[in-house]
């Protein structure tokens, strides 16, 4: 019963980790490339409603683009879940590699709208990997207990 419950828990935690990865990558890319972000908003800051709508639109487009760039990383997530690999470096490298692959395969016309600096892409990917690890990666694998043998805490002794 324990592994079935753990599998159900993983089905909720992994998508939350992926969502956290997209949000963090979008924030990192927006802050790291603030000039491009403000150029796309290109609205008068004093006109608050217009500025907020333009900023929300640009954030939405960038979030969708970041999610598309992180799609190749699902391979690494499946591998880490299947083999219960919990190393933070694996998830950071998976994020960096997936954003790089996603960014290069999107083409130059979409990249001008999203990100034009490869350093920003890699920074966003590494941040996405860390965010995924913080939410779901540290406890990867539905069949491997997180804290080792749990029967030792119940008064039973290992022979």
Q: How many residues are recorded in the chain?
A: 159
- Residue 102 token pair: 């996603």
User: How far, in Å, CA of 70 to CA of 65, rounded?
Assistant: 9
* 83 contact partners, CB below 8 Å, separation of at least 6: 141
User: How far, in Å, CA of 65 to CA of 73, rounded?
Assistant: 14
CB-CB neighbours of 75 under 10 Å: 13
pTM: 0.76
pLDDT digits (tens, 9 = 90+) for 49-103: 777 777 787 788 888 888 888 899 999 998 888 888 888 899 999 999 999 998 8
Res. 5 pLDDT band, cuts 50 70 90: confident
pLDDT digits (tens, 9 = 90+) for 87-143: 889 999 999 999 999 888 886 565 555 677 888 889 999 999 999 999 988 787 766
């Amino acid at each position: 019963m324990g592994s079935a419950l753990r599998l159900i828990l993983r089905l909720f935690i992994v998508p939350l980790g992926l969502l956290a990865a997209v949000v963090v990558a979008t924030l990192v890319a927006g802050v790291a490339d603030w000039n491009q972000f403000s150029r796309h908003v290109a609205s008068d800051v004093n006109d608050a409603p217009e500025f907020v709508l333009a900023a929300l639109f640009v954030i939405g487009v960038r979030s969708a683009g970041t999610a598309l760039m992180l799609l190749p990383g699902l391979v690494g997530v499946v591998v880490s879940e299947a083999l219960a690999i919990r190393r933070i470096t694996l998830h950071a490298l998976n994020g960096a590699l997936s954003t790089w692959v996603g960014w290069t395969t999107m083409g130059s016309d979409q990249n001008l709208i999203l990100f034009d600096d490869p350093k920003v892409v890699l920074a966003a990917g590494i941040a996405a990997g860390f965010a995924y690890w913080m939410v779901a990666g540290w406890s990867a694998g539905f069949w491997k207990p997180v804290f080792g043998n749990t029967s030792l805490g119940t008064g039973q002794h290992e022979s």
